[in-house]
Copies of this chain bind each other. A is one copy, B any other.
Amino acid sequence: MTKAASGRGGPSSPTTPPRVRLVDVARETGLSKTTVSAALNGTGRLSPAVREKARETARRMGYRPNATARQLRAGRARLIGYVVGEFAGAPWTFLESPYFAQLTSSTAAAALKHGYALVLLPAGSLHGEWADLPLDAVIVADPVADDRIVEDLLAARIPVFTDRSVEGRPGAHWVDVDAPAAVRETLDHLKAQGARRPALVLPDSTTRFHSDVLAAYREWCAGQGLPEQVVLAAAAGNGPVVRAVEDAVTGADRPDALFVVAEASPPLVLEAVRRHGYDVPDDLLLVCVSEDTTAIHTQPPVTTLSLGPREVAEAGIELLVAALEQVHPEPAGVLVPTRLEVRASSLRTAGD
């Protein structure tokens, strides 16, 4: 830490005094480094007088322990890698998605609460690119189906935490949402509000979540005897998704409800369907899978299905800490619930 201030071996300004080490404090006090270490860490059998003297001297000299040396001794770095598998093509855009922004910040927060820090890594990268980071584990958020990174990490014997697609692999842990249940809940809600032709908008992705959603949607339609209408967005991002939404509402069989399972700005989606003559919610019930808080500020506010990134993050870190700290036979995976935030965009205004 503070290489530029280390002055011992490291390139430092010639005037910079060398960093004060434990032995320096020891020499100053006339004690041994063992004693000073114990004094500062509150361990060992020490007389109160000596303990206080060591502490006082350390403070006076501006002693700060070297984190790297501690890590080496401890055998771990309390550092967690964080990669997102999706967006592999554009390695650093994932933070622009509200879902991943919340997932990332919540993960960092939860990790720090347990004494671990999060290291941001580029999406779609391989372990080799950051092999000389002392990572205790790596979180791979939403890997794509053919992602090599998970096997790469497992081969390197680094504990991996990711979504359910890794279920059964030794060393791999997972946290996921119950996508099929969420889809059913949403579609049931739409049907209860009168929808008979709910369309699904989905990005063209190989994420497990998206294939789960598609399967659940089809199954639900078949079970209900309702027609299915799926429109695939060419890519993620507001442009393609909005275009897919427009495709959906201008298609041959006009849907009476839209379930957008692709991250797009709710106000933008609303504007798009309106451009094509729909009134929400009278002509079209609208539900977006989104963590975007703009949804509550539109008129009407947009019903969202929240994937609960905060809950996912917390459950994941809980699992990670349990696994890393060996708090006994921890489960390999955890399922967290989603949350359907019903707002005016999916509520029939006319009496039912």
Residues of chain A having any CB pair with chain B under 8 Å: 1-6, 8-13, 19, 62, 64-72, 75-79, 91-96, 98, 101-102, 104-106, 108-109, 112, 117-122, 129-137, 156-159, 237-239, 242, 265, 267-268, 271, 275, 293-294, 297-299, 323-326
Contacts and interface: CB of A to CB of B under 8 A. Distances in A.
A268 B117 contact: no
9 contacts: A1-B136, A2-B156, A4-B324, A10-B75, A64-B131, A66-B72, A92-B105, A95-B105, A265-B297
A117 B117 contact: no
A67 B156 contact: no
A340 B62 CA distance: 47
Nearest to A294: B265
A75 B6 contact: yes
A237 B297 CA distance: 11
A120 B108 contact: yes
A134 B1 contact: yes
Number of copies: 2
User: Which of A267, A268, A323 gathers most chain B CB within 10 Å?
Assistant: A267
A158 B2 contact: yes
A73 to B, nearest CB: 9
Contacts of A92: 105-106, 108-109
Nearest to A153: B2
A30 to B, nearest CB: 26
B96 A101 contact: yes
A76 B19 CA distance: 13
Nearest to A64: B156
A92 B268 CA distance: 26
A93 to B, nearest CB: 7
Contacts of A118: 119-120
B156 A130 contact: no
Contact of A159 (B2, B78, B102, B324): B2
